[in-house]
A and B are shown apart, each in its own frame.
Chain A
Amino acid sequence: MRIFDPHIHMSSRTTDDYEAMHTAGVRALVEPAFWLGQPRTSVGSFLDYFDSLIGWEPFRAAQFGVRHHCTIALNPKEANDSRCAEVLAELPRYLPKDGVVAVGEVGYDSMTPEEDEAFAAQLQLAVTHDLPVLVHTPHRDKAAGVDRTLAVVKESGLAPERVVVDHLNEVTVRQVAGTGCWMGFSIYPDTKMDERRMVAVLREFGTERILVNSAADWGRSDPLKTRKTGDAMLAAGFTDDEVDAVLWRNPVAFYGQSGKLELDDPGEGGGATFEGNSVLRGVRAEV
């Protein structure tokens, strides 16, 4: 089973996770920029974080045979702090980078005027830089948040197929299904969605324009939820081809709209391990 996790925060995960993910079939992923649990207070801490997403973390991932890409944005929660909102001016220099395959996570947390402003401005950056967009939907008052999200996306002029609306569930998927936007589902140990519920959604809505992710981060989460969803699909009678569509071809099609996906083995020439394992002396860099 080949797996592309379209939303996972690897900076918060261990090398054991990378090893387990590779064993489970994960060969590529996208790490969206988001908040760190501890709120940031300055633009500088955003820039160091962004630099890590286009520097150290892809290097770390490559050592475990995983292709790492990222999305860059001011997240909705921190858009509410004026000290952080200034980072919007810095985004244009990150969006052209090779590893940046979308603008995200943008969207709403508490649906404030500040969030409105940052969301709309970043949708325009996606238009300017010809990138797809990863949209976070609020965990509280989600249905209203999804409606408002869809209205703002429509107003932006972005083609709906360039947008994934993430963290959907059985209720909110109905609001997105007819819009042409992609539908993202985060499979969590005990919140958001689980594998069994995801299989039910796939039965009802099919596999088209659906992305399944683990959204694993520093909270209680499981980086192998993509694989577990694939296993649950097979157990429920879905074919290998349908699993491959959901776990590989769909995220490749969505983020491939950036024109910047790199899906060859990172250990091959030009990759981030030291030009391939053959010259790595069989010993991993001590990080």
Chain B
Amino acid sequence: MSMTPDRLRAALAGRMTAQGSAWLAGACASTAADPDTVRSLFPPAGRRCGRGPLDPADPHGWTVDDAARALLLTALPLTGGRLLDEIGGLYRTGDAAERRAVLRALPLLPVGDGALPLVRDALRTNDTRLISAALGDYATAHLDAEAYRQAVLKCVFTGIPLAAVPGLPAREDAELARMMGAFARERAAAGRGTPDDIAPILARFPEAAGDQGPATVPTSATEPRREA
């Protein structure tokens, strides 16, 4: 289910204090009246509205501050190049939480594929918060196949569960399965396990995945426990 501003507002209603709600309503109104004010409202949004998971049952999903910042962005009375310039500036001058919020908000904004440079910037980092936020619905819709595959492989490599990649069922392909199979063989040769959640991709494209399918690859369940 893709996120919409109305869904964000509904989810936030139960997760913010009255002061937080009042602050956000005022901040959205100020942003709608004068887009420049978003620059001073974006940084303190987490302190004002809270930071925990938006849905406690979804550990990979939006946080309260992500949702508050996304609503600020949807309040911007800008389109086209001016909207891209503003969100690009907020991303570049943002801390990790602000950058994550911009990435999460992309599918809610009328930016076409113009925000792909921000997605690519985030995918170059090794910060799992940014990588996973960059691989949301916007990347599913706009990121080219080569970059998408590399990003999914990076998730596996950096420990991001594939359950946090919503577009995977639509975007997985034989080439991704080949890359996963090669990754699994490399790990197996090193005596290391591979995450269980790559098994469905290997199983769906057995020819591309290669000889060592999931049955012969040690998984984290069978690998000896690492010392803490």
- In-complex Cβ contact of A96 among B40, B56, B59 (8 A): B40
Expressed in whole angstroms, the Cα–Cα distance for A286 and B60 within the complex equals 20
Interface hits, A223-270 → B, CB 8 Å: 259-260, 269-270
> Does A56 make an interface contact (CB < 8 A)?
yes
> Does A98 make an interface contact (CB < 8 A)?
yes
- In-complex Cβ contact of B220 among A98, A281, A287 (8 A): A281
Q: Are A284 and B159 in contact (CB under 8 A)?
A: yes
Q: Are A98 and B97 in contact (CB under 8 A)?
A: yes
Q: Give every chain B residue within 8 A of A287 (Cβ-Cβ).
A: 126
Q: Are B157 and A279 in contact (CB under 8 A)?
A: no
Q: Give every chain A residue within 8 A of B99 (Cβ-Cβ).
A: 55
> Does B31 make an interface contact (CB < 8 A)?
no
Q: Are A270 and B128 in contact (CB under 8 A)?
A: no
Known pairs A54-B95, A99-B95, A270-B51; A280 contacts B159 (CB<8 A): yes
Expressed in whole angstroms, the Cα–Cα distance for A98 and B157 within the complex equals 29
- In-complex Cβ contact of A54 among B44, B46, B96 (8 A): B96
| Chain B residue at smallest Cβ distance from A268 | B52
Interface string of B46-62 (1 = CB under 8 A from A): 11000111001001100
> Does B35 make an interface contact (CB < 8 A)?
no
Q: Are B53 and A56 in contact (CB under 8 A)?
A: no
Chain B contact residues, majority secondary structure: loop
Known pairs A98-B95, A279-B60; A270 contacts B52 (CB<8 A): yes
Expressed in whole angstroms, the Cα–Cα distance for A98 and B95 within the complex equals 8
Q: Are B59 and A272 in contact (CB under 8 A)?
A: no
Q: Give every chain A residue within 8 A of B40 (Cβ-Cβ).
A: 96
Expressed in whole angstroms, the Cα–Cα distance for A116 and B13 within the complex equals 50
CB distance from B83 to the nearest CB of A (A): 20
Q: Give every chain A residue within 8 A of B195 (Cβ-Cβ).
A: 281
Interface hits, B2-46 → A, CB 8 Å: 39-40, 43-44, 46
Residue of B43, B51, B161, B195 with most partner-chain A CB within 10 A: B43
Residue pairs across A and B with CB atoms within 8 Å: the count is 76
Q: Are B159 and A281 in contact (CB under 8 A)?
A: yes
Interface string of A102-131 (1 = CB under 8 A from B): 000000000000000000000000000000
Expressed in whole angstroms, the Cα–Cα distance for A97 and B90 within the complex equals 12
Q: Are B128 and A274 in contact (CB under 8 A)?
A: yes
Q: Give every chain A residue within 8 A of B44 (Cβ-Cβ).
A: 96, 98
Q: Are A98 and B60 in contact (CB under 8 A)?
A: no
| Chain A residue at smallest Cβ distance from B125 | A56
Q: Give every chain B residue within 8 A of A270 (Cβ-Cβ).
A: 51-53, 63
CB distance from A259 to the nearest CB of B (A): 8
Expressed in whole angstroms, the Cα–Cα distance for A105 and B226 within the complex equals 40
Known pairs A281-B159, A281-B161; A56 contacts B60 (CB<8 A): no
Known pairs A56-B127, A98-B43, A269-B53; A283 contacts B96 (CB<8 A): no
Interface string of B142-181 (1 = CB under 8 A from A): 0000000000000001111100000000000000000000
- In-complex Cβ contact of A275 among B47, B60, B95 (8 A): B60
Expressed in whole angstroms, the Cα–Cα distance for A98 and B98 within the complex equals 10
Expressed in whole angstroms, the Cα–Cα distance for A275 and B63 within the complex equals 10
Residues of A within 8 A of B (CB): 54-56, 58-59, 93, 96-99, 259-260, 269-270, 272-276, 278-287
Residues of B within 8 A of A (CB): 39-40, 43-44, 46-47, 51-53, 56, 59-60, 63, 93, 95-97, 99, 125-129, 132, 157-161, 195, 220, 225-226
**10 extra interchain contacts, Cβ-Cβ under 8 A, other than A59-B128, A96-B43, A96-B44?**
A55-B99, A59-B127, A98-B47, A98-B97, A273-B128, A274-B128, A274-B160, A275-B60, A281-B161, A281-B195
Q: List 25 A-B contacts (CB under 8 A).
A: A56-B96, A59-B96, A59-B129, A93-B39, A96-B40, A98-B43, A98-B97, A259-B47, A269-B53, A269-B59, A270-B51, A270-B52, A270-B63, A272-B96, A273-B128, A274-B128, A274-B159, A275-B53, A275-B59, A276-B59, A278-B59, A281-B220, A282-B225, A285-B128, A285-B158
